Amino acid sequence: MTYQFDSLKPELIKQRKAVHQVCRNYRNQPDSTNFKKLKSLFSACGQKVFIEPGFYCDYGDKITIGHNVFFNINATLLDGGKIAIGDDCLIGPNVQILTINHATNPTERLKKENFADDVLIGNNVWIGAGAIILPGVTIADGCVIAAGSVVTKSTEANSLYAGNPAKFKKYC
């Protein structure tokens, strides 16, 4: 479900600046103190979560992460909408998970409105390097998203998707 999202509200700008600083601190000094601060941003964060430096998000409080999740370097989560990541997931380097969109009509876009649509990622999902997950997508349990794929539509469970746009390739 798509909903309007105003990223220019002063309280959201303030929150975004503070969260970006936490992310920068962890990137520059990935010690246990900064890691704890990063994880504290999230709505929920399971056990045995590992996040390589270079992780970025906008707000953090709309992100839930399950148990045994690994984020490789330079993961970007634009979380104006909810991002839920299940248990036992592997997120490759340079993966982008996006919940924000803008009007495609040029006149409407001048209003600077944003639209958010939640992204849900099931359990035991592997998202390969450089993949982009677009707003409103649900990646079902057991899926593999091939490196460099752009996922524009929700997936079937236990399947491999690849390409731009990502298409079903086979059952895993």
Q: What are phi and psi of 39, to 5 degrees?
A: -65, -30
State the catalytic residues.
Answer: 102
Q: Cα separation of 68 and 48, whole Å? A: 5
Q: Cα separation of 135 and 140, whole Å? A: 15
Q: Output b/e per residue, 35-71; b: 16+ Cβ within 10 A.
A: beebbebbeebbeebebbbbbbbbbbebbbbbebbbb
